[in-house]
Amino acid sequence: MLDWKMDFTWEILPRLLLAAGNTMLAAGGGYAVAVVLGLVFALAQRTRSRTLTFIVRELVEFIRSTPLLLQIFFIFYVGPQFGLRLSPWAAGLIAIGLHYAAYLSEVYRGGIENVPKGQWEAARAINLSTVTTYRRIIIPQALPPALAGMGNYLVGIFKDTPMLSVIGVAELMHTANSIGAENFRYLEPYTIVGLIFLAISLPTAWLIRRFETALRRKMGLTR
């Protein structure tokens, strides 16, 4: 029934580990896009312009309500129809970055809105300007809870990179598919891919939790 072949495992492991590097590269690149773009989305919703707030709000909702896989296809295939060719990597990073920017913008907003109203009032009472209030009072308090959310989405983006295989980004899943098709063996490549994901995401999630607790303690937010 179950015949795991060790020699085959050793044969394909280097290739998979190399592909894991690509997976991390894709996750890191996509995350960089998401962190910056998410901040733009979040700040755009805090401006006084109601129209801008409404448009960005709806855009964020739209991105969050539709499958990433579909967004990847859309960005990759629609460009050429209008004469804009994107490489799989570029399309993939844009799609995944845009998708997670929508989520991160909510994390940023939540962090800011979670700071108690009394903090704004106390800042007003000692006459701090709006900029100083954000810089010295609000953001330092918004950051620790937001960092937990940001960390979770870093792990999330990492776990969503296999979807990039569908447009030919040579990350883990794509490589495992190729190995499977070449050798007609799926047990080892898919299982190893699963184990690699576990081996990276579990410790990362744990580290993020530790980091958040340590940060909160360092800032005196908990005993």
Q: Based on CB atoms, which residue is closest to another protein, 32 or 64?
A: 64
Going from the C-alpha of 92 to that of each of 18, 165, 171, the distances in angstroms are 19, 9, 11
Closest approach, Cβ 79 to another protein, in A, equals 9
Cα within 13 Å of Cα(74), Cβ side: 12
Dist. CA 203–CA 178, nearest whole Å: 28
Dist. CA 7–CA 221, nearest whole Å: 53
Q: Based on CB atoms, which residue is closest to another protein, 44 or 187?
A: 187
Q: Based on CB atoms, which residue is closest to another protein, 54 or 77?
A: 77
Closest approach, Cβ 56 to another protein, in A, equals 16
Closest approach, Cβ 43 to another protein, in A, equals 20
The residues of the shown chain that bind another protein, judged by CB under 8 A, are 1-2, 61-62, 64-71, 73-74, 77-78, 80-82, 116, 118-119, 121-122, 124-129, 132, 136-137, 140-141, 159-163, 165-166, 173, 176-177, 180, 186-187, 190-191, 193-194, 197-198, 201-202, 205, 219-223
Closest approach, Cβ 37 to another protein, in A, equals 19
Q: Based on CB atoms, which residue is closest to another protein, 36 or 181?
A: 181
Match 């579990």 to its residue by tokens: 202
Q: Based on CB atoms, which residue is closest to another protein, 32 or 140?
A: 140
Q: Based on CB atoms, which residue is closest to another protein, 10 or 206?
A: 206
Q: Based on CB atoms, which residue is closest to another protein, 150 or 174?
A: 174
Closest approach, Cβ 59 to another protein, in A, equals 11
Closest approach, Cβ 176 to another protein, in A, equals 8
Closest approach, Cβ 184 to another protein, in A, equals 11
Check: CB of residue 72 under 8 Å from CB of residue 96. Answer: yes
